[in-house]
Structure formats: structure tokens, C-alpha cells
């Protein structure tokens, strides 16, 4: 299994050179727009061999920088801040108890100020591991559900998923960077001037059919090939990330149940998080690390996470949990006005009571009808106006 993922990451790295080759083809067309397809392909290959060491150095620098500073980059995007036991005793104790129960090193704990319901783990080694939780998740979930989410993230750390995903995001970022660079170069190039020069050269060489096939037409074909290679490299980078993430989310759910022995807590946590995990301003790379990524690609083909329904069904099938179905989060107003079984029905305000009859106990008391104390004139939010 490990070798399979290593192979996928190596293939992801090779996509960088596919992009370099595509860029070399475009550069050859810019330099000489009046050559044959075969000439462009051979010249592009020579350019790739010449640029190979430079592309490798740039990619290596990118990976080294991301290796040491990826957490700082993520914190800059999400606003996550490290917290201590004194600042977040509830959350800190839940995470510490899970780590102690399984002998897991305690990762750093971070809080992200966001109403979204989500969490994610990051880090490439033991010193870097951290778990980030949103304030919205803390407010909406019960302790057992928060513990299940923390167990999910700890499983990602235990299984090595965090390292794989961070590396995949880093390399995919290189692919995306080169792809966008070449795409911008292609779109910003003044093709009209190039086209006029190629047309003039084609007129001067129109005496030969072979020359007419090589002039202009070959450049267009090669440009189409370059665009196709750029699109293919980007598409394959997304497919590799999907292969690394989708199956591992299901394994992390199962690992959380193994840690907490509470499948119902994981299921109810997923149901509450469902469609409420969008982090405003977060990049797609950050969302791919989260418990749930509500962002979906075309026809769900590029969704990095399985649907909550499929994850819940897997837990019910293999862990024996109970699915309550989609859950609605109670608002603070709903919680404050919720009727309790021991609460008597609301009574009308004193001014709405009919006036007491002469000679009744309430008339002799002179204040309010019998049986209505001063406290009973208060509504659920305090004295009535």
C-alpha cells in the first residue's frame, strides 16, 4: 500500500516535466512559427533536456520551502492560533485523553475563529503535527462528537495521511504554478503579430505544397498539443490527489471509532458538519485537508471527500452505528425558548386579566389576582414591558 502511494507521488512529480515540455513547445512556436510539427517536437525535447536541471532545482526549492513553512502558510490563510490548556481546557483535555489512551504524541492544538464546522490536521513530522478546530465546531458539537472529530484527525496522523496529503498538495501546487504560468504566457502573447509574420512567410514559400503544410499549420497543431499537455497534467494532478484522499477519509472515520469506541458520536458529528464546513477565504488545498470538504467539482468528479451519506452508511454497516439522518442545528433563540415538560403553559400578562369582582380575595388584597405571584409576571427573557 505504501509503495502504491509513493508511486503516485512520484508520478505527480513527473507532471512538472510534462508542463516544462509543453512550455518548450510554445516557446519554439514563438521563436519560429514557420516550421513543421516534427521540428517543433524534436526542438521541444531538446529544450526539455536543457531545462531539466533548472526545473528540478526550482521544484526542489519550492518543496523545501513548503516543507518548513507550510504550517505558517496555512495559518496565514486560516488565521489559526495555538492554544494552551488554560485557554481551551475542554478541547485540550479531550485531545490529551485520546493521545494518552493510545500512546500517541500530543500534537499542537490550534483554534480557527470561524462559524464553519470543520477541523483538519497538518504536519510532516512529529515536531510539526497540529490539529486545528474551528470555533463553530466547538459551539455546535457535544463533547463526545468533538472527541470523535479529534479521533478522526489523530487517525490521519497515525496512518501517515497528513504527510501524503501535504506532499501531494505541495507538488500539485508546483504543477498548478507552472500550468498557470504557461497559460498566462500563452494568452498574453500577441498571436496576431505572429500570425501576420507566418502568413507573410507562407506567401513567400507558397511555391511548394510541403512548405505550405509546414508553415502556420504545424505551429497551430503544436500549440494545440501544448494546451492538451497542460490540461492533462492539471487533470492528472487532481486525480492523484483524489486517489490519495477519498479512501483515506473512510479509514479515518473507522479509526476514530476505534479510538473512541463510539460510532454514534462520529455519525452525529458528520451529520452536523454536513454542508456547514465551508471555510471562507480558504484555498482548495486547505479544504482538502479538512474533515469535510463541501466544495465539489464538475458532477462531483473532483470532490476530494466521499459524501457524508456514503461515510455514514459505511459506519453503520461496519461499526454498527445509528444514522439519525440530516441534523438541523438549534439556534440560540430556539434553545432559549424551548418548552420543558415541567414548565407550566404561559399565562397572559396581568393587564390582560379581567378585573377582579368586588368582594373577591384579589380585590381585598388590592394588588393582583389571587394565585399570581410577582415572579409569575416575568417572561422567559425577564420582566415584561
pLDDT along the chain (385 residues), means of 10: 57 80 86 86 91 86 79 84 93 94 90 94 87 95 96 91 76 68 63 48 45 61 88 78 73 93 95 91 81 69 78 92 83 45 44 50 44 39 41
d(Cα 163, Cα 308) in Å, to the nearest integer? Answer: 24
Q: Residues 6 or more apart from 54 whose CB is under 8 A from it?
A: none
Is residue 88 situated within a structural domain? no
- Which pLDDT score, from 0 to 100, does residue 286 have? 82
Is residue 301 situated within a structural domain? no
Is residue 145 situated within a structural domain? no
Strands 108-112 and 130-134: parallel
- Which pLDDT score, from 0 to 100, does residue 182 have? 66
Domain limits for position 53: 2-78+163-200+209-261
- For residues 74 and 122, the answer to whether their CB atoms sit within 8 Å is yes
d(Cα 36, Cα 222) in Å, to the nearest integer? Answer: 9
Kind and range of the H or E run holding 325: none
Is residue 59 situated within a structural domain? yes
d(Cα 199, Cα 101) in Å, to the nearest integer? Answer: 75
Is residue 144 situated within a structural domain? no
Mark whether 153 is an active-site residue: yes
Is residue 244 situated within a structural domain? yes
d(Cα 236, Cα 26) in Å, to the nearest integer? Answer: 21
- Which pLDDT score, from 0 to 100, does residue 186 have? 60
* In the chain, % of residues over pLDDT 70: 67
What's the structural domain count of the chain? Answer: 1
Phi-psi region of 25 (alpha: psi -120 to 50; beta: other; left: phi over 0): alpha
User: Per residue in 13-66, pLDDT tens?
Assistant: 788 888 888 888 888 888 888 888 899 999 999 999 999 998 888 878 877 887
CA distances from 136 to 142, 154, 242, 272, 363 (A): 12, 20, 27, 11, 54
Q: Which residues share a beta bridge with 120?
A: 132, 290
Q: Supply the DSSP symbol for 106.
A: P
- Which pLDDT score, from 0 to 100, does residue 371 have? 41
Q: Between 161-188 and 143-158, two packed helices, what is the crossing angle to 10 degrees? A: 80
241-265: b (≥16 Cβ within 10 Å) or e: bbebbeebbbebbbbbbebbebbbb
Is residue 16 situated within a structural domain? yes
SS3 296: coil
- Regarding pTM above 0.85, the answer is no
- For residues 267 and 141, the answer to whether their CB atoms sit within 8 Å is no
Q: Residues 6 or more apart from 231 whose CB is under 8 A from it?
A: none
- Which pLDDT score, from 0 to 100, does residue 283 have? 76
Given 28, 145, 153, 288, the catalytic residue: 153
Q: Where are the beta strands (DSSP E) in the chain?
A: 81-82, 108-112, 119-122, 130-134, 378-379, 382-383
- CA-nearest of 75, 310, 260, 246 to 149 is 260
Is residue 375 situated within a structural domain? no
Amino acid at each position: 500500500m505504501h509503495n502504491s502511494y509513493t508511486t503516485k507521488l512520484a508520478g505527480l512529480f513527473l507532471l512538472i516535466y510534462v508542463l516544462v515540455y509543453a512550455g518548450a513547445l510554445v516557446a519554439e512556436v514563438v521563436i519560429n512559427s514557420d516550421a513543421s510539427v516534427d521540428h517543433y517536437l524534436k526542438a521541444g525535447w531538446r529544450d526539455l533536456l536543457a531545462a531539466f536541471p533548472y526545473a528540478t532545482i526550482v521544484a526542489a526549492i519550492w518543496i523545501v520551502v513548503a516543507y518548513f513553512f507550510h504550517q505558517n502558510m496555512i495559518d496565514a490563510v486560516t488565521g489559526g492560533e495555538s492554544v494552551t490548556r488554560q485557554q481551551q481546557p475542554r478541547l485540550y483535555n479531550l485531545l490529551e485523553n485520546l493521545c494518552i489512551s493510545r500512546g500517541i504524541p500530543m500534537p499542537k492544538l490550534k483554534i480557527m475563529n470561524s462559524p464553519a464546522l470543520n477541523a483538519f490536521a497538518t504536519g510532516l513530522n512529529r515536531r510539526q503535527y497540529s490539529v486545528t478546530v474551528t470555533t463553530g465546531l466547538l459551539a455546535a458539537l457535544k463533547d463526545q462528537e468533538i472527541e470523535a472529530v479529534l479521533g478522526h484527525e489523530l487517525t490521519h496522523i497515525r496512518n501517515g495521511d497528513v504527510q501524503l496529503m501535504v506532499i501531494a498538495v505541495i507538488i500539485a501546487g508546483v504543477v498548478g504554478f507552472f500550468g498557470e504560468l504557461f497559460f498566462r504566457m500563452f494568452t498574453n502573447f500577441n498571436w496576431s503579430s505572429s500570425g501576420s509574420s507566418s502568413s507573410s512567410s507562407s506567401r513567400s514559400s507558397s511555391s511548394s505544397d510541403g512548405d505550405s503544410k509546414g508553415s502556420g499549420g504545424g505551429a497551430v497543431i503544436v500549440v494545440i498539443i501544448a494546451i492538451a499537455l497542460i490540461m492533462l497534467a492539471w487533470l492528472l494532478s487532481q486525480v492523484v490527489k483524489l486517489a490519495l484522499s477519498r479512501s483515506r477519509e473512510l479509514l479515518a472515520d473507522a479509526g476514530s471509532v476505534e479510538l473512541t469506541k463510539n460510532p454514534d458520536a462520529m455519525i452525529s458529528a458528520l451529520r452536523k458538519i454536513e454542508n456547514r464546513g465551508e471555510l471562507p477565504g480558504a484555498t482548495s488545498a486547505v479544504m482538502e485537508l479538512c474533515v469535510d470538504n463541501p466544495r465539489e467539482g464538475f458532477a462531483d468528479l473532483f470532490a476530494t471527500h466521499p459524501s457524508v451519506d456514503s461515510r455514514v452508511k459505511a459506519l453503520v454497516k461496519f461499526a454498527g452505528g445509528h444514522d439519525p439522518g440530516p441534523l438541523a442545528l438549534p439556534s440560540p433563540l430556539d434553545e432559549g425558548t424551548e418548552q420543558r415538560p415541567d414548565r407550566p403553559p404561559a399565562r397572559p400578562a396581568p393587564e390582560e386579566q379581567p378585573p377582579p369582582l368586588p368582594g373577591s380575595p384579589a380585590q381585598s388584597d388590592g394588588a393582583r389576582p389571587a394565585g399570581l405571584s410577582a415572579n409569575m409576571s416575568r417572561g422567559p427573557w425577564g420582566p415584561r414591558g
